[in-house]
Structure 1
């Protein structure tokens, strides 16, 4: 048997009679309201992400507290656990307090005053990355060194994983660019 095909009648877009599929133009006030509402939603979502991704490294730090407080752990293990906790604290600080800065399309850097806070913020990311790399190298070299630690060596990869997760989350938070939407506004000329 031959298969039956249903055909739909061709209609011009103006023939439809119903304007529910048509696009309605927005005037300037409506554009402003839409953009302002999107800004508020974006700021709210960024705030929520900031809190959640700042709390995660703090909870992960619990794995290293027992090693520091334990009387059976040696100074080497306590030092590595302290480094891990410092890295996790720096990661939480990065997510919660470092401002999100979009790169300037022209390559210009914003002018900033040199204060202790700005200097601390400038060196937080590279220092934390260095600590994470050091902990990863220590994890990689655990089998060759033959050291017996009370904590599993793979745990030293947690600060690096948290740091990477926070950097990805910050990149996602920056991916929403409402400035481009503001540039797309048009001047509505009424009748």
Structure 2
């Protein structure tokens, strides 16, 4: 059973202690301010996560320039491609909140997507898996620096997605 408070008349001292209910206009303004603040924070985080693949791609550009074998150049191109896909997904295909009004069937939402939106995540995962396979081969051959470099796109994809 819930206990009830005893009724007492409000005094001048009690006004500061008890918060008054928000009127509708103040409540809407507060909600709008919180949504704007949330959007600003989301934008900062999106840019921070977008910088991770960009910075990592600089390593692959350097590897491409300093490469002595065709295998190193191919791995550098594949690494830059995977990181570019990750950056594209983060920037142009962010996770969106589902619509509350007028919910649509999932098959209709999927039908409206283009081939890039449908398959880019899977292609990027396949590319990262291919680089992980190359990293495994490099690790087995004792080239640990190459193995870490080849694992980097998969690690970044897992961190940012």
> TM-score scaled to structure 2, two decimals?
0.77
Q: 1:68 aligns with which of 59, 64, 70?
A: 64
- Please state which structure has a larger fraction of its residues in helix: 2
Matches of 1:76 and 1:37, distance apart in 2 = 53
Matches of 1:164 and 1:107, distance apart in 2 = 29
Give the equivalent residue in structure 2 for 1:158.
152
CA RMSD of aligned residues (A): 3.0
Structure with larger RCO (C-alpha < 8 A, sep 6+) = 1
Q: Which runs of 5+ in 2 are unaligned?
A: none
Distance 1:50 1:143, change over 3 A: closer
> TM-score scaled to structure 1, two decimals?
0.66
User: Does residue 87 in structure 1 map to residue 112 in structure 2?
Assistant: no
Q: Which runs of 5+ in 1 are unaligned?
A: 1-10, 168-191
Q: 1:53 aligns with which of 49, 56, 66?
A: 49
Distance 1:152 1:29, change over 3 A: same
Distance 1:13 1:112, change over 3 A: farther
User: Does residue 131 in structure 1 map to residue 130 in structure 2?
Assistant: no
Greater shift in the superposed pair: 94-103 or 54-63 = 94-103
Give the equivalent residue in structure 2 for 1:100.
95
Q: What is the CA-CA distance between 1:121 and the residue it aligns to?
A: 2.0
Distance 1:155 1:19, change over 3 A: farther
Matches of 1:157 and 1:19, distance apart in 2 = 62
Q: What is the CA-CA distance between 1:13 and the residue it aligns to?
A: 9.5
Summarize deviations over 1:8-61 as a string: whole Å, max 9, x none.
Answer: xxx979699434443421121112111111111111111111111112211111
Q: Give the number of aligned pairs.
A: 152
Give the equivalent residue in structure 2 for 1:33.
29
Summarize deviations over 1:48-92 as a string: whole Å, max 9, x none.
Answer: 1111111221111111112212351x2222111111111111111
